[in-house]
Amino acid sequence: MEKLTKVEFSNLEKILFPKLEITKAQVIEYYIKIAPKMLNFLANRPLVVTRFPDGIDQNGFYGKDAPQGTPSWVKTVKFYSGTAERDINYILCNDLDTLIWLANIAAIEIHVPFSKADSREKPDLMFFDVDPEPPATFKNAVKVALQLKETLDKVGLESYVKTSGKKGLHVIVPIASGHTFKETRTFVHKIGQQLAKTQELVVSEFKETKKPGKVFVDYLQNSHGRTMASPYSLRAVPDATVSTPLAWSEVKKGIKPTEFNISSVVKREKDPWKKIFDNKQKLTV
Amino acid sequence: MNMEKEKKVPRRPIWTGSLAIGLVNVPVKVYPMIYDRGISFRFLHKTDGHPLKYQKVCTKDNKVIPWEEVAKGYEVTKNEYVIFDKEELEAVKPESDKRIRLDKFVDYFAVDPVYFDRSYVLMPDKSADAYGLLLTAFEKKGKAGVGRITLRTKEYPALVHAYKNALVLTTLRYAYDVVDPRGFEELKKLEEPEKAELDLAVKIVTDLSGEFDITEYEDNYKQKVEELIKKKLKGQTVTPEKPVQEEVKGLMAALKDTLKQLEKQ
């Protein structure tokens, strides 16, 4: 067999998504197929992964540290963690082999921070987490995301949207270098407050996050330690959904997050976020 | 590979004890004498060449049963069993008697080969003199001793005789383990042969009489298979290789495609 990858596959027939009987082989295949669209979002970002070696019905483990047995060719970067009070060896996924290796260790969910390893304090993405609190639903999140887009349009910022893969939507604004997390956090908070004034559904303050039936525009994630599910990351939910970049035109009534899953997303020809990193925008705080 | 296994002398005795004749004990070691040097094959999976293994499967639900869950059953009537634990049977096992007791001496040729089970070589155990004495006496009288030996868990009738300057023990079969041909109906219908025919038959037997030489006989099938093996070794051999599963093939196809796309980027 030709050597197309450095990764030694293991336990390919292991079922990782029991409801749909999706095997590890299928998960790896998904990540191989999505790699051309996905790798750009991973490059040079210290990753946090959630691994489910025994399938998503069993406890997974959330890992910042590169696990024991990480091959020497996998790039890592060391940062001191205040909470863990030690250095953590973060995985960097800058190539296809690393992505395949992650899939092979059953790292179903791959999370990325909003800044790169070489400029950790300086974000290049501004993140709005549109998170509905039950009984608010995805439908409510869609409504709020569209209002959010309108608001951002008004201040001259182009935004990008993706499903979280769970119940919410993520809205991203790529930003020019030089801004700090404090600035992005403040900016997102202000936009949230603005929305909350006119929209009954929206709450903008952390203490209100658990208000039933409300949609919180979470600004707190804009910090160097925080992450979001990477664009095109699978989610550890029974339907094997994918956090999927969408065109704003797709975000409308009737859209369901489960439409975007391990089998459908690779068939999407569109790559609505393709030019996201060419569109670095300055914030006027 | 060594197909022509040399006839070697076995290294370890399978039993040690003594030959007991009356009050005389001759310490001996018992070595295996019979080997099955036929060709043995392993079952393989035709499609990938991997060896197959046996598993004990429950006839009720086809589940594989581990050893701990295996018991012995004696079928009393059809589908009805008396179950035994290992311990229960262990308790009634014959004690391993450390003596081969010879009860009497008979003409060796008086024992029909149908009773022969398996032969073992006896070697002196630290008292070569007693062994030598016994061997010479056997040779001189042309007699064989008949007695009993307990090997592992079974007691056998046994015959001890001199063979090629050594004492050899042959375990025997019990009378009830050997079919008595007089039970066959066909034999009862046999007619007395005509004299002329009988003379002819006797003549043939006389003409073809000769010395017995076991080395005149060879296993033709074994030789043919060994030739086949040699041929296969030069050409196509079935060697188990690392399995390339269907899944891996699928992944490789996807991988080729992705690598092509990444090259373009």
In the predicted model, is pLDDT for residue B1 greater than 80?
Answer: no
Residues 135-164 of A with CB under 8 A from B: none
Residue B48 pLDDT: 84
Residue A2 pLDDT: 53
Residue with the bigger pLDDT between A151 and A199: it is: A151
Residue B242 pLDDT: 55
ipTM above 0.85, yes or no: no
pLDDT confidence band for B197 (50 / 70 / 90): confident
Burial class (CB in 10 A: 0-12, 13-18, 19+), B57: exposed
Q: What angle do CA A161, A108, A173 make, to 5 degrees?
A: 20
Q: Decide if B247 and A36 are in contact by the 8 Å CB cutoff.
A: no
Is B256 an 8 Å CB contact of chain A?
yes
Q: What is the pLDDT of residues A233-268, one digit of tens each?
A: 999 999 999 999 999 999 998 999 999 999 999 999
Q: Decide if B255 and A36 are in contact by the 8 Å CB cutoff.
A: no
Q: Decide if A29 and B248 are in contact by the 8 Å CB cutoff.
A: no
Residue A121 is encoded by which pair of tokens?
A: 């304090």
Q: Decide if B247 and A5 are in contact by the 8 Å CB cutoff.
A: no
Residue with the bigger pLDDT between A13 and A174: it is: A174
Q: Mean pLDDT over residues A76-83, rounded?
A: 85
Q: Decide if A29 and B251 are in contact by the 8 Å CB cutoff.
A: yes
**Closest Cβ opposite residue A35 in set B244, B256, B258:** B258
Q: Mean pLDDT over residues A31-60, rounded?
A: 94
In the predicted model, is pLDDT for residue A152 greater than 90?
Answer: yes
Residue A69 pLDDT: 85
Phi first, then psi, for residue A186 (nearest 5°) are -60, -40
Nearest Cα neighbor of A262 from A280, A237, A227 is A237
Q: Mean pLDDT over residues B8-15, rounded?
A: 85
Q: What is the pLDDT of residues B51-95, one digit of tens each?
A: 898 889 998 888 999 888 888 899 888 888 899 887 888 777 776
pLDDT confidence band for B243 (50 / 70 / 90): low
Residue B97 is encoded by which pair of tokens?
A: 């008697």
Q: What is the pLDDT of residues A163-218, one digit of tens each?
A: 999 999 999 999 999 999 999 999 999 999 988 888 888 888 888 877 788 888 88
Q: Where are the domains of chain B?
A: 15-38+98-177, 181-207
In the predicted model, is pLDDT for residue B4 greater than 70?
Answer: no
Q: Rounded CA gap, A91 and B148, in Å?
A: 75
pLDDT confidence band for B225 (50 / 70 / 90): confident
pLDDT confidence band for B3 (50 / 70 / 90): very low
In the predicted model, is pLDDT for residue A83 greater than 60?
Answer: yes
pLDDT-wise least confident of A59-63, A193-197, B180-184, B258-262: A59-63
Is A274 an 8 Å CB contact of chain B?
no
Q: Rounded CA gap, A95 and A74, in Å?
A: 9
| Chain B interface, best mutation among A2, A3, A26, A28, by max B CB count within 10 A | A28
CATH class of the B15-38+98-177 domain in this structure? mainly beta
Is B248 an 8 Å CB contact of chain A?
yes
* Residue keyed to tokens 């383990």: B177
Mean pLDDT for chain A overall: 91
Residue with the bigger pLDDT between B248 and A226: it is: A226
Phi first, then psi, for residue B163 (nearest 5°) are -145, 120
Q: Decide if B248 and A96 are in contact by the 8 Å CB cutoff.
A: no
Q: Rounded CA gap, B88 and B76, in Å?
A: 17
Mean pLDDT for chain B overall: 85
Q: What is the pLDDT of residues B93-133, one digit of tens each?
A: 776 678 888 888 898 888 899 999 999 999 999 888 889 98
Residue A38 pLDDT: 97
* Helix intervals (H) in A105-212: 138-154, 181-198
Residue B6 pLDDT: 53
Residue A231 pLDDT: 97
Question: Strand pairing partners for A220?
Answer: none
State pTM to two decimals.
0.57
Nearest Cα neighbor of A73 from A140, A173, A143, A6 is A6
Residue B31 pLDDT: 94
Q: Mean pLDDT over residues A13-25, rounded?
A: 93
Taking only Cα atoms into account, the Rg of chain A, rounded to an integer number of angstroms, comes to 19
Residue A227 pLDDT: 94
Q: What is the pLDDT of residues A102-139, one digit of tens each?
A: 999 999 999 999 999 999 999 999 999 998 988 889 99
Residue B95 pLDDT: 66
Chain A closest-CA separation from residue B93 CA (Å):
47
